[in-house]
Structure 1
Amino acid sequence: MDLVTPGVGLIFWQTVTFLIVLGLLAAFVWKPIMEALRAREGFIEDSLSAAENAKKDIEKLKNDNEYLMQEARLERDKMLKEAAELANKIKEDAKDETSKITAKMIEDAKAVIQAEKSSALNEVKGLVADLSLDVAEKVLRKKLEEKKAQEDLVEEFIKDIKVN
């Protein structure tokens, strides 16, 4: 078992060497490592803080974006409503204008029909008058072929004439 158990001198020198290495590490290496760890810890805290701020900014931007989208929807709905109202107004104006034009065309047509009717009636009256004159002429010729009938007719006209 001697092989497995170390000697007192070996333990002494290993302890002395360990303490020297520990002293050197503490004097020269420990401070820079601790400063690096503190700097790293500060960087991590700053990064976490920046990430939290970025998260808040993103949330704020998201809320602002949602608000802008809501405003855009309202504006779109308003514009669509105005466009529909304008379309209805244009349609109503077109109906009114069409009604006016139709009424004017009907009036013009009635006037033309009345004018044609009057013209036709005048033409018929003229034809009736011509026919009446022709018939009267033939009847008078037939009646006035006799001299006595002519004299009676002249006397009758003379009686009808009044002298003032």
Structure 2
Amino acid sequence: MQIVTPEFGLIFWQLVIFGIVLLLLRTFAWKPILSALNEREDSIENALRLASQAKLEMQALQAGNEKLLAEARLERDRILKEATDVSNKLIEQAKNKATEEGGRMINQAREAIQNEKNAALAEVKNTAAQLSIDIAERILRRELSDNAAQKELVNSYLKEVKLN
């Protein structure tokens, strides 16, 4: 039963050993454990602070990206509109130029036709005049081969001519 009921000496030595162990633990183990816990707590706080900063930066970047996308879409729409306007202007200019060129060619063709027509009419008139002169010359030679016929022709022309 002695083992079950401790004596004063056993309790004393157990308290002395406990105090020594407590003193040793406090000196050699407690401070490093507390400093490790403090460092761990600081690193967790830093990590949380950095995570919140990163989250804010990501939100800012996402907002910036959305703004850039919106600006890019506006720029694309503006460029497409300008390209459409330029192409429409070029098409309109080409149409106008083609119309002007066609009108100019038609006018040149009309002038050429008119010139050819006038040249043909002049040639026909010249040919007709030449034929008329040739015919008149032949008729006059035949009819005016003698003097009596000549006198008769001159008298008939004189009768036709009325003097005022």
TM over 0.5: yes
Matches within 5 A, 1:47-66: 47-66=47-66
- Listed one character per residue, the Cα deviations across residues 13-51 of structure 1 (whole Å, up to 9, x for unaligned) are 556423321222124431332133112201211111111
Equivalence for 2:150: 150
CA distance in 2 between partners of 1:6 and 1:90 (Å): 114
Question: Which letter does structure 2 place at the counterpart of 1:155?
Answer: N
- In the alignment, structure 2 segments of 5+ residues that lack a partner are none
Equivalent-residue separation in structure 2 for 1:91 and 1:28 (angstroms): 92
Runs of 5+ in structure 1 lacking a partner? none
Q: How many residues are aligned here?
A: 161
Give TM-score, length-normalised by structure 2. Answer: 0.84
Once the two structures are superposed, residues 86-126 of structure 1 have per-residue CA deviations (whole angstroms, 9 ceiling, x without a partner) of 11111111110111011011101110110111011100110
CA distance in 1, matches of 2:60, 2:29: 46
Return the alpha-carbon distance in structure 2 between the equivalents of residues 34 and 112 of structure 1: 113
Alignment RMSD (CA, Å): 2.6
In 2: Cα distance, 1:8 partner to 1:61 partner: 73
Change (3 A) 1:11 1:153: farther
2:69 is matched with: 69
Shift, 1:11, TM fit? 6.6
Aligned ranges 1:116-155 → 2 under 5 Å: 116-155=116-155
Q: Equivalents in 1 of 2:150, 2:28: separation in Å?
A: 171
Q: Distance in 2 between matches of 1:104 and 1:7?
A: 136
1:117 maps to amino acid: K
The answer for the alignment partner of 1:18 in structure 2 is: 18
Q: Structure 1-normalised TM-score?
A: 0.84
Match runs of 1:65-104 below 5 Å: 65-104=65-104
Residue in structure 1 matched with residue 107 of structure 2 by the alignment = 107
2:44 is the counterpart of 1:44 = yes
Q: Percent identity?
A: 45
